[in-house]
A and B are shown apart, each in its own frame.
Chain A
């Protein structure tokens, strides 16, 4: 096993709504190794981005409990100035929407230059420019000399995401967090961007947390996959195991809802219900219970734990043992 880069232990990220705190990420533990892509998947509102933001320390109004060990330093409870020395240098982040994630009033060169400047003030202006041009070349931007002096609105969405990537990798971080990096882009650009991230990963020997809800992206990119539901990890395994032998009802439902191009389908499979809002999350018992009502209550654990069912393959709750997809519409509405 390769070296551990990031280890999250019992992370709990809570937000204040009115007078109560609600955990968007609840007692979550996972680790990322060097030169590994860990995909975090789940529906919208499962706490994937809250997890990414917690690691980067970007939450301004959240309560964070637990530990986030990055190279043996606990970044969950670091002072802002210490954290600023890490962010952009040892940890980089690529955001979801390249259209809004770049400062509209700053030239591309200046924006990338800022990352370099913040972590190496001694670098001369000329050297910095050279390095920026290099970076632009590296992320596959044509005519980098021109783009250097352009504003974000003069670039296409794919180009802007390349600029974002250039910014995130400027100081060769050891950990790269990509929060749905391709969601806002069209399909052809998506694959180019993913390819680029893959290349860079091999190049830099970095650990990557890839947050996505696109299982196609997971299959293409990930080494290991963590499936999140309602702020918790419900299943974690390496990518082959997860796709070939998914266990948790949620994972199976997610995979089941991907349309299959080889089979004629009358209708798309959906997971019934929605992810409950933060205030309404069930805090006890199996959180996925409400969305699989045809499964007997007794199948669920009272305090669902992660069970290691084979080396490196963890599943939460015992309900996976009894789970199967319903055969008829009637059955779907449940026994209880």
Chain B
């Protein structure tokens, strides 16, 4: 088990190096830089060149890459041009918000997916299954950013049940009960909006896993033992069908990253996604590269998590 995990973690190192090269190259290939976007157009271009020289932007690419990686290793992600503060500090605030948003979204995703998937798989080809399947198709077809806007409009503005932007009401003392509650109420609407759309793939996956498992021979064995239908489902079918779902968790995390960019932008939720969106608009490249790098690392960690979970729950791939 440990051997497997360690080997799996070692594989991540070249993955992360490759990722950093790609991100660096893409960032350098983008036209313009922070100076071309934000500086008063009347500034003398020669003066701009001077600043670029000073910032090292005219160095050969490998020198720039080495500088960037050198900084990363020391935890220095560069300076944000817009916020005039270190990116590390900037990201540090946001990453916590995105972390909680992701956790809440995952929670709602499974809260919806597991009962729907089970019902749909168990009673397949009934009207119940057909209505659940219809929901999944609608979910697949609905763009997240439009759905989120509708949710915001209905529950945020019309009904006024939830706050419409931010991650906490202003003026509350961190650590107090009101502060935590305010954080939670700000989380719920974006998390549910995202979960309702992203959950559909998990529902379908679980449905087909259950339909597949219930035709397996060992289900007949269980029935031949005299197990009741409920027991057959709970002990034999579910356990075998949830396994790939558990492994899917890691990839679910990758999917969340794309979702947070939309959701945070629409709900004005100060997390990594919103930061990413704003920084792109303002060509704040040191922030963009840092955020993309962190997103990339999150995906790699997600895949790692999938593999570890799978090896924990499936005795067939447990390596001794």
Binding site for B on A (CB under 8 A): 56, 58, 80-81, 83-89, 92-93, 95, 97, 100-106, 114-115, 118-119, 151, 153, 164, 167-168
Contact = CB atoms under 8 A, between A and B. Distances in A.
Contact of A85 (B226, B231, B236, B315): B226
A103 B226 contact: no
B218 A103 contact: yes
Nearest to B224: A93
B59 interface: no
B222 A86 contact: no
B182 interface: no
Contacts, number: 75
Interface string B22-44: 00000000000000000000000
Contacts of B314: 105
A97 B231 CA distance: 23
B228 A84 contact: yes
Given A102-B221, A103-B221, A84 B316 contact: no
A80 B221 contact: no
B46 interface: no
B240 A101 contact: no
Interface of B, secondary structure class, is helix
Contacts of A81: 228
A164 B221 CA distance: 9
A279 B314 CA distance: 41
Nearest to B316: A153
Given A104-B316, A105-B315, A56 B224 contact: yes
B226 A118 contact: yes
A58 B224 contact: yes
Contact of A103 (B222, B224, B228): B222
B310 to A, nearest CB: 12
Given A151-B316, A153-B315, A153-B316, A104 B227 contact: no
B225 A101 contact: no
Interface in B200-235: 216-218, 220-229, 231, 235
Interface in B242-291: 243
Given A84-B228, A103-B239, A104-B218, 7 more contacts: A85-B226, A87-B225, A101-B220, A106-B239, A118-B226, A118-B227, A118-B231
Given A103-B240, A104-B240, A104-B316, A88 B220 contact: no
19 contacts: A58-B220, A81-B228, A84-B228, A88-B225, A88-B227, A93-B224, A95-B220, A95-B224, A101-B217, A101-B221, A102-B221, A103-B240, A105-B243, A114-B227, A115-B226, A118-B226, A118-B231, A164-B221, A167-B221
A84 B218 contact: no
Contacts of A93: 224
B222 to A, nearest CB: 7
A115 B231 CA distance: 12
B218 A151 contact: no
Contacts of A56: 223-224
Nearest to A99: B217
A100 B222 CA distance: 12
What 4 A-B pairs come out closest when comparing CB atoms?
Answer: A88-B226, A88-B225, A87-B226, A100-B217
A95 B240 contact: no
A167 B220 contact: no
Given A105-B239, A105-B315, A100 B227 contact: no
Contacts of B239: 103, 105-106
A86 B229 CA distance: 15
A167 B220 CA distance: 13
B213 to A, nearest CB: 10
Nearest to A170: B225
A115 B225 contact: yes
A92 B268 CA distance: 63
Given A103-B236, A105-B243, A153-B316, A119 B217 contact: no
Nearest to A87: B226
Contacts of A97: 217
A151 B224 contact: no
B226 A95 contact: no
Contact of A92 (B217, B218, B224): B224
Contacts of A103: 218, 221-222, 236, 239-240
Contacts of A168: 224
A84 B220 contact: no
B244 to A, nearest CB: 12
A100 B315 contact: no
A89 B220 contact: no
A326 B235 CA distance: 57
B14 to A, nearest CB: 32
A106 B316 CA distance: 11
A184 B149 CA distance: 58
Nearest to A91: B224
Contact of A87 (B223, B236, B240, B316): B223
A89 B226 contact: yes
A324 to B, nearest CB: 42
B229 A80 contact: yes
Nearest to A114: B225
Contacts of B222: 103, 114
Contacts of B229: 80
A251 B223 CA distance: 34
Contact of B240 (A105, A118, A164): A105
B264 to A, nearest CB: 39
Nearest to A164: B221
A103 B216 CA distance: 9
Given A101-B218, A153-B315, A84 B226 contact: yes
B135 to A, nearest CB: 26
A103 to B, nearest CB: 4
